[in-house]
Amino acid sequence: DSTVGSPRDCQPCPCPGGSTCAVVPKTKEVVCTNCPAGTTGKSCELCDDGFFGDPLGQDGPVRACRACKCNDNIDPNAVGNCDRETGECLKCIYNTDGFFCDRCKEGFYGKPLASDPKDKCKPCSCSPYGTVGRQTSCLQVTGQCTCLPHVTNRDCSACEPGYFNLRSGTGCERCNCNPIGSTD
Amino acid sequence: PRPDVHPLPPGTNLLFAQSGRIEFVPLESYDMKKTKAKTVLHLPEKVIIGVAYDCVEKMVYWTDITSPSISKANLQGGEPVPVITSDLESPEGIAVDHLGRTVFWTDSMKDRIEMATLDGAQRRVLVDTDLVNPRAIIVDPVRGVMYWADWNREAPKIETAAMDGTNRKVLVQNGLGLPNGLTYDSQSSLLCWADAGSHMIECMDPVQGTRRKVKEGIQYPFGMTSYGKNIYYTDWLRDAVVVVDRHAAKETDEFLPQKRTRVYGITMAHTQCPSGQNYCSVN
């Protein structure tokens, strides 16, 4: 405030890189108006969209702004891909999920870090008849669904040998074939 | 008045978003007065994506993805007023119907197109099926139709519907990459789009269906608007506003903001509203 008339009226802008600043009259808040490249915010404490870091080290050591790190599981044409401070990925694609889009989302399995999207995350597609509680989720890597008693296959879609009636919804039943009259 | 922002000067201006700022560039006839470019709104903590202008109340409307919301402010130094603050995830494109006094927007996470009155009341979901990455949206209140683009990499498309969401129809499906920008010129009845995948600007007459290339080899368009013979688009690689003469099919000018960072939505702010009646008041 240059109108008070004291030697301390004008103070240097609290902005990095010699950025200019302005005082908002109503709130007396100081706002940097020309933050260094890649940064933004009242005091240049934030990274631009698509980048994350802590350029002023407000929350620990200084972390320069860098591009969202989401294991190639974000789309460069999207906006708001990660949290500008923590880097948490916010728009995972290819059915991935997690802080760094580093796992498959619920109901999918596979290799989220594979380079070919086709190898990434596939739907569990658990058989509703053979899966415990009709669950739709499966193990992250193998994709194994949780099968009812005597049910087999990754997706719990078949009975073990010697068992039948998958559709019962309670597991497969023993065939009870007479061992003398049966071929298998 | 704040020393870091400036009221919008009279006349026609371009408005565009760059991070937490909305900048203006005055136009003289169709030319950018680049030395007169300034910031009209500074919200340092926000990431502003879409901008739209209401020529009646001379307000700018914008979408913000940091605290997902839609807000407005008058352009003579007014404070931001929240319009929609709940049930949004990634609001991107925004359009104002100055006749119907409503605002329309896309949300690329909720995969919806919605509308509300300019105070945020009477909110309605208009489209919520078959949307993957809806972004640009524009309305033509005189004919009562809206247009939007969905940059879904698997199946990008440009669609139209009545402004109540009925009569939905795909207008363009072939030869699209990442249609980020969309603009409609009511004088010529041409719908034009800027594609960051095919690197082209193309136009079509949405009624007759005739389509033509305007400019090939553009870099990375995001937002788009038009005025007379000119198309103005923001470019993510050039961090610039680029001017293309539609008739000459040539780039004629560019504006490089002082800050070298991505530029997002862009719109025209005319002093006067275009003449025309709301299709509702006609029918």
Residue B122: which CATH number? 2.120.10.30
Residue of B nearest to A45 (CA): B45
Residue A160 lies in a domain: yes
Residue A59 lies in a domain: no
Residue ranges making up the domain that contains B207? 13-282
Query: Is it the case that residue A155 has pLDDT exceeding 80?
Result: yes
Instruction: Tell me the average pLDDT of chain A.
Output: 92
Report chain A's C-alpha Rg in angstroms.
Answer: 29
Residue A168 lies in a domain: yes
Residues of A with Cβ-Cβ distance to B49 under 8 angstroms? 79
pLDDT digits (tens, 9 = 90+) for A54-110: 999 999 999 999 999 999 999 999 999 999 999 999 999 999 999 999 999 999 999
Residue ranges making up the domain that contains A170? 124-184
Question: Which of A1, A77, A91 would best serve as a mutation to test chain B binding (most B beta carbons within 10 A)?
Answer: A77
| Number of Cβ atoms within 10 Å of the Cβ of A170 | 11
Buried b (16+ CB within 10 A) or exposed e, A96-115: bbbebbbbbbeebbbebeee
Domain count, chain A: 1
Could A49 and B19 be called an inter-chain contact, meaning their C-beta atoms sit closer than 8 Å? Answer: yes
Residues of A with Cβ-Cβ distance to B133 under 8 angstroms? 75, 77-78
B154 touches chain A (CB under 8 A): no
Which of A36-45, B154-163, B272-281 is modeled with the greatest confidence?
A: B154-163
Residue B46 lies in a domain: yes
Could A22 and B90 be called an inter-chain contact, meaning their C-beta atoms sit closer than 8 Å? Answer: no
Instruction: Tell me the average pLDDT of chain B.
Output: 95
B43 touches chain A (CB under 8 A): no
Q: What is the CATH number of the domain that holds A130?
A: 2.10.25.10
Q: Decide: helix, strand or coil at residue A117.
A: helix
Q: What is residue B212's predicted lDDT score, i.e. its pLDDT?
A: 95
Kindly provide the ipTM of the predicted complex, given to two decimals: 0.94
Q: What is residue A89's predicted lDDT score, i.e. its pLDDT?
A: 98
Residue B5 lies in a domain: no
From the list B44, B47, B258, which residue is nearest A80 (CB)? B47
Q: What is residue B4's predicted lDDT score, i.e. its pLDDT?
A: 85
Residue B8 lies in a domain: no
Do B121 and B84 meet the contact criterion of CB atoms below 8 Å apart? no
Question: Which of B45, B48, B261, B264 would best serve as a mutation to test chain A binding (most A beta carbons within 10 A)?
Answer: B261
Instruction: State the alpha helices, DSSP H only, in chain A.
Output: none
pLDDT digits (tens, 9 = 90+) for B94-109: 999 999 999 999 999 9
- Residues 6-35 of chain A whose Cβ lies under 8 A from any Cβ of chain B: 21-25, 31-35
Q: What is residue A184's predicted lDDT score, i.e. its pLDDT?
A: 63
Average pLDDT over residues B189-193: 96
- Residues 161-200 of chain B whose Cβ lies under 8 A from any Cβ of chain A: 178, 180, 196
Do A50 and B262 meet the contact criterion of CB atoms below 8 Å apart? yes
Q: Residue A32 to residues A4, A16, A24, A161, B282: CA-CA distances in angstroms?
A: 22, 9, 11, 73, 50
Question: What single-letter amino acid sits at A2?
Answer: S
Q: What is residue A176's predicted lDDT score, i.e. its pLDDT?
A: 84
Q: Which of B224, B150, B168 is nearest to B191 (CA)?
A: B224
Residue A58 lies in a domain: no
